[in-house]
Amino acid sequence: MARERNKLTKRDVDNPRPGWAGDGGGLWLRTDADGASSRSRWIFKYTRAGRTVELGLGSAQDVTLTLARELAERHRKTLAEGGDPKAEKRKAVTTAQNRHTFSDVAKQVIAARSKGWRTNVTTKRDASAAEWTRTLTVDCKPLAGRYIDEIEVEDVERVVQRFFDADQFPSLKKALNRIKTVFDYARAKQWRKTDNPASAAIFNHIFPVGNGATVHHATLAYKDMPDFMAKLRKVDNAITALALEMIILCAARPGEVLGMRWPEISFDDALWTIPAARMKAAREHQAPLSEPAVALLRKVERLRRRKDDYVFPSDNRAGRPLTNQSLWRTTRKLTEGKGTSHGFRSAFRDWAGDATSFPREVCEAALAHLVGSATELAYRRGSALEKRRELLAAWADYLDGKTATGKVVPFRKRDPR
């Protein structure tokens, strides 16, 4: 009786004999006739309602002797409480089949949202899909195999902590918003009954610049821009530096300049027409070019080493434009980490509002922001281009150090309306 349980040894399991070998307490090791350990499996036997029931616990290759004993003890406890181990196992399997991991839900979220994403005409791929996939698979790898209804706030915090530690606040906000979307989706599907562990209400306190706070692109103060431009122009004919200068002169978004093609440029009219597919508002935009911007484009034209539609082509990938990463590296180096290529638009807007008397709608139009009703936009379309041309010319003069930081009063041309 002393050895009624735990009769088997590890050696018995590794070198089993054909047939049944009992460990006691209803736990058995069953081995097929050839005696190979790969053909051994654990069985828990018990009697219920007058008949013997056999419940499989898994292969001896996958389930160790220790684990098999733990499973058997769990089933004995179920019997002692009046339950049926086989029914409990069936219920657990059904529950597991109806549960979803974070990875499962993330894939469904990406598939559902991808229908509204636009393909980037420059890279011929869906940038949004790539960003969401990277966040929800690579960044959230520690959550991937976890059930969506088991993940807690602390788990999400561990995933996004690195963005906070690195002062990457825009990335932190995006990651939290995307993770939050996954849990919102799961709650809508009734796969998670509890609160969203990535909600703004929680993370506004954990990371004050996180999910609910407005996070702006890092930028230089506009008063530092002339010095920065002087430093930028000392970079020896690097195509990346020229692209960055173009972004600043035109107060354009990085993606608009990186995707710039020669057919979009009219040197005769000093005009750059950006197609709707590359604009954030999905509307064609005409950007006036100041004299320094035209001179820069002429310089790039002379530097062309091959026939390429892109004004700022990649050095090592034929037929492709420069990447945002190239701009980021140059900007970080020249600003000592204080600016981003997108943040220069903020410097322009601050300068236009603080140091000039140009109307607000002209300043916003120069940034390709839609301001006013459709009727107002149509009415101003004819005159806004020339007013924007004046504004960008004044900006170029300021960057060259030709005007002081005081108020710049725009030259009033006759309204062509």
Question: Quick one: 181 and 256 in the same domain?
Answer: no
Residue 187 lies in a domain: yes
CB neighbours (10 Å) of residue 204?
A: 14
Q: How many domains does the chain have?
A: 3
Residue among 205, 285, 221 at smallest CA distance from 253: 285
| Residues ≥6 apart with Cβ < 8 Å to 161 | none
Q: What is the pLDDT of residue 272?
A: 95
Report pLDDT digits (tens) over 374-403: 544 544 454 578 999 999 999 999 999 887
Q: Are residues 149 and 278 in the same domain?
A: no
Of 160, 177, 206, the one marking the end of a domain is 206
Question: Which of residues 251 and 89 earns the better pLDDT score?
Answer: 251
Contact 283, 276 (CB under 8 A): yes
Q: In the structure encoding, which two tokens stand for residue 385, read together?
A: 């281009």
pLDDT number for residue 238: 83
Q: How far is CA 386 from each of CA 90, 276, 293, 381, 382, rounded to the nearest angstrom?
A: 75, 21, 16, 10, 8
Would residue 124 count as lying in a domain?
Answer: yes
391 lies in some domain:
yes
Q: What CATH number does residue 65 fall under? A: 3.30.160.390
Characterize the bridge pairing of strands 271-274 and 40-48.
unpaired
Same domain, 284 and 229: yes
Backbone φ and ψ of 28, nearest 5°: -130, 150
Same domain, 87 and 139: no
Asked whether residue 87 falls in the same domain as residue 201, the answer is no
3: Cα separation from own chain's centroid: 59
**CB-neighbour burial class of residue 289 (10 A; exposed 0-12, middle 13-18, buried 19+):** buried
Main-chain dihedrals φ then ψ at residue 195, nearest 5 degrees: -65, 165
CA distance 322 to 258: 6
Q: Which of 68-82, 87-101, 154-168, 235-249 has the lowest mean pLDDT?
A: 87-101
pLDDT tens-digit series, residues 253-302 = 888 898 899 999 999 999 999 998 888 777 888 999 999 999 999 999 88
* Residue appearing with tokens 């657990």: 92
* DSSP assignment string, 33-46: TT--GGGEEEEEEE
The pLDDT, as a whole number, for residue 314 is 83
> Does 347 or 203 have the greater pLDDT score?
347
Helices in 123-238 by DSSP H: which ranges? 127-133, 153-165, 169-188, 200-206, 225-232
- On whether residue 379 sits in a domain, the answer given is yes
My answer on whether 30 and 76 are in the same domain is: yes
pLDDT of residue 185: 93
User: 256 in a domain, yes or no?
Assistant: yes
Identify whether residues 254 and 230 lie together within a single domain: yes
User: What pLDDT does 340 receive?
Assistant: 63
Mean pLDDT of all residues belonging to the chain: 81
Question: Is residue 380 assigned to a domain?
Answer: yes
- Is residue 140's pLDDT more than 50? yes
Measured between alpha carbons, how far is residue 414 from residues 383, 386, 408 in Å? 10, 10, 19
**Other C-beta atoms within 10 Å of 308: how many?**
16
Cα 301–Cα 284–Cα 390 angle in degrees, nearest 5: 65
Nearest CA-CA partner of 181 in 116, 121, 119, 126:
116
For residue 196, being part of any structural domain is answered with: yes
Residues 247 and 386 in one domain: yes
| Torsion sign (Cα): 63, 66, 69, 75 | negative
CATH number at residue 387: 1.10.443.10
| pTM of the complete model | 0.52
Do 274 and 292 belong to one domain? Answer: yes
Is residue 184 over pLDDT 90?
Answer: yes
Domain boundary among 47, 67, 97: 97
Report the CATH number at residue 143.
1.10.150.130
Joined together, the tokens standing for residue 415 give 């309204």
Report which DSSP code applies to 350. Answer: H
- Predicted confidence at residue 163, as pLDDT, reads 83
* Token representation of residue 274: 């950006």
Look at residues 177, 206, 235 and tell me which one is the last residue of a structural domain: 206
Same-domain pairing of 233 and 366: yes
Residue 412 lies in a domain: no
Same domain, 267 and 325: yes
Short-list 331, 356, 353, CA closest to 342 = 331
Q: Answer yes or no: do 197 and 227 share one domain.
A: no
Q: Residue 305 sits in which domain range?
A: 222-399
